[in-house]
Amino acid sequence: MLVFISDLHFVDGSAGEHNPPVEAFEYFFEDLVSIAGKDSNQIKEIKIILLGDVFDLLRTEKWFKFDEDERPWGYNEAKIEDHANEILSGILAKNSQPFRTLRDGIKNLKGRCQRFAQCRLESEPRLFYIPGNHDRLVNKYSSLRVEVCKCLGIPRDWHSPADPFPHTHEDLRYGVFARHGHEFDIFNYESGASYTLPDYERVPIGDPITTELVARLPYEADLYLQGQGLSEAERQPIKARLQEIENVRPLAATIEWLLYRLQQEEEPVVKEAIESAINKSIVLFEQLNYVHLWYERHDLSANPIDEADKIQTFLFLLKRLKLSVLDELFHLVDRVKGAGFFLKDDLREAAPQELPRLDPRFRYVVYGHTHEPLVAALRSDPPLAGDLRPLEKVYLNTGTWRARYYQASEDNSFMSWKNMTYVIFYREDERTGRMADFETWTGTLKTT
């Protein structure tokens, strides 16, 4: 049994309280035990793969106290590593209970499963970790890899922290090829298709966007309100509401979400704070040396709509975000969306392109990154020798365990609920009378 989860985005809490609760892990392991106990299953092994964006080193306010050269897009590697260790320590301390539950769950899983006669595990359950774009720094520095291995309970005979973690997980027994998927997001992967370690270490524009725009906006709004004389008790719920911007997907939807927030806030001083924070965040973002260099590389005059144009269009719309021009801005956003600037699912398009370079026995391509669970039929290839059934090729996305905001279809409002998705594959000899197969589970929890 091969189990994938991704995009847990554990954070240090400075930019918002958004961590998955310990109860989610308790439920997860209860469900795995229940699946292992099914009469139709004969589980031989359990491998759990954390498919990226587990440790979020970008969604934090702590980077703001360091010079640009000491942030993830700077050049002072020694300082960046020190600060990344400090932030990772905060993440681990903030989430000590969920991580303990994860380690204990793996440790006790074999004993719990083997209460069922049909479940005879051939080895101890194992945990694998694949880094994504938000935990890029984990893989870059061995000191962080040491702490991650301790946190996840990964012994050296599973993976030595002296070596970078792999960026793919491949298992022909299950017909599964998996990666985080940010490789196909032009804003979160800064290299080509060679997929070497240096490719993954290059800084994508998504790093400063996440920190300097998304995480900074509530921070700057809070500073503005503090300057207006509001107490911490008055500011805290306002900042917490704005910090929900972290759960808005895709990036372009943050503009409409901020418009919605402006409409919902009743106090004029809060509206002023949002407008001021947007302007301040954009100014600071555009002053970054990294951003100037990124524009030089990506602003291609020969291409009518290049990557730089999309970022510049996004910032142009953000700059115009004022209550006085809401109707005009909604119209502009609709036009941009209509032009398809930000709506394309690049991972969905990339999945079938993986197939030609893979062994034909791979049947499933698995990504995370988008926070959108998905199962999509790609194609059916002719049967392999000795088999009568066609090789069905399928793309699956592992979603997220974080809350998400969704825009209503009938107006400009937004609603939020929590999600929890995992994807399970079976070996051919693990399901009675059936070929290797898969199942996905997505739970939704709405609280008021």
| Annotated domain spans of the chain | 2-201+346-404+415-445, 206-338
Q: Which two tokens stand for residue 356?
A: 């030609």
Distance CA 322, CA 278 (A): 10
Distance CA 91, CA 333 (A): 36
Question: What type of residue sits at position 34?
Answer: S
Distance CA 68, CA 212 (A): 11
Q: Residue 336, SS3?
A: helix
CB 167 within 8 A of CB 179: yes
Residue 336 has a pLDDT of 58
Sheet hosting strand 168-171, strand order edge to edge: 168-171, 176-179, 364-367, 391-397, 374-381
Cis amide linkage into residue 352, ω under 30° from 0: no
The model's pTM is 0.94
CB 83 within 8 A of CB 91: no
pLDDT of the chain along its 448 residues, tens only? 999 999 999 999 999 989 999 999 999 999 999 999 888 888 999 999 999 999 999 999 999 999 999 999 999 999 999 999 999 999 999 999 999 999 999 999 999 998 998 888 999 999 999 999 999 999 999 999 999 999 999 999 999 999 999 999 999 999 999 999 999 999 999 998 899 999 999 999 999 999 999 999 999 999 999 999 999 999 999 999 999 999 998 777 888 898 888 888 889 999 999 999 999 999 999 999 999 999 999 987 666 677 888 888 888 888 877 755 555 655 566 665 555 555 578 999 999 999 999 999 999 999 999 999 999 999 999 988 877 788 899 999 999 999 999 988 888 889 999 999 999 999 988 887 666 689 999 999 998 7
Q: Give the Å distances, CA to CA, from 444 to 24, 25, 156, 424, 441.
A: 12, 15, 36, 18, 10
Residue 212 has a pLDDT of 97
pLDDT tens for 3-16 read 999 999 999 999 99
pLDDT tens for 209-222 read 999 999 999 999 99
Residue 409 has a pLDDT of 85
**Which residue, 422, 444, 326, is CA-closest to 4?**
422
Residue 411 has a pLDDT of 84
**Which residue, 219, 208, 202, is CA-closest to 278?**
219
Q: Give the Å distances, CA to CA, from 235 to 188, 220, 386.
A: 32, 12, 68
- Estimate the crossing angle of helix 307-319 against helix 326-338, to 10 degrees: 160
